[in-house]
Amino acid sequence: MFLEPNFRGQRSGWIEVVCGSMFSGKTEELIRRLKRASFANQKVQIFKPKKDTRYDDTNVVSHDENAMASTVIEKSTEIYDLLDQVSVVGIDEAQFFDNDLIDVCQKLAVKGIRVVVAGLDMDFRGKPFGPIPGLLAVAEYITKVHAICPHCGSLATHSYRLSNEEETVVLGEKDKYEPRCRICFEMANILDFRVR
């Protein structure tokens, strides 16, 4: 379904991206922004990828167990058919979606919808992850949040995988990942490479 642009009678929407490493508070910030919009009597709808089942099959849940009901989808273009007269759309774990998400978000913004997207900006290798780099390029507002590196106390920007799995997408929590600063991330990768 193509959303007709709304050039009259309503101001333009926009795209906000909240990104960072694991355990940096991305989902917590997404939920906070959507709850504030709800308190302002704005109709909010939140979407999450079907593959994200870590805390709950349907709710969006932060690491500190703050939760919000969501609509589970497999492909980003499903958003078009599931929208219900909303003024704010939230999208969690955006790195798990296809690259069509960039176009979907832009069309929603042109329609006059505020779009708030949260996701990892880098995978466990330290490489740009999924549609997030493209969303960062087209977003009006970008918030990079940080965790704390448990090894040195610096700001953590990377998600270090503790397991030996090589697939890009491996669901897990503190059992499989920890936040690391750039130096501790690089040092661990050098040591891992020597061991393998």
pLDDT in tens, 43-68: 999 999 998 766 666 666 655 667 78
Residue 154: inside a domain: no
CA distances from 98 to 59, 95, 118, 122, 139 (A): 20, 8, 14, 15, 17
Residue 195: inside a domain: no
Q: SS3 helix, strand, coil % of the chain, rounded to 5?
A: 30, 25, 45
DSSP 74: S
Q: Write the burial class of residue 4 (CB in 10 Å: 0-12 exposed, 13-18 middle, 19+ buried).
A: exposed
Q: Is 93 a catalytic residue?
A: yes
Given 93, 165, 166, 186, the catalytic residue:
93
> Containing domain of residue 24, as a range?
14-146
- Output 7 or 103, whichever has higher pLDDT: 103
Residue 171: inside a domain: no
For the chain, the average pLDDT equals 88
Residue 106: inside a domain: yes
Q: Which pLDDT belongs to residue 194?
A: 38
Give the chain's domain count.
1
pLDDT in tens, 100-152: 999 999 999 999 999 999 999 999 999 999 999 999 999 999 999 999 999 99
**Taking the model in full, what pTM does it have?**
0.87
CATH code at 126? 3.40.50.300
Q: Which pLDDT belongs to residue 25?
A: 92
Q: How far apart are CA 168 and CA 177, in angstroms?
A: 13
* 166 φ, ψ (degrees, to nearest 5): -105, -15
Residue 8: inside a domain: no
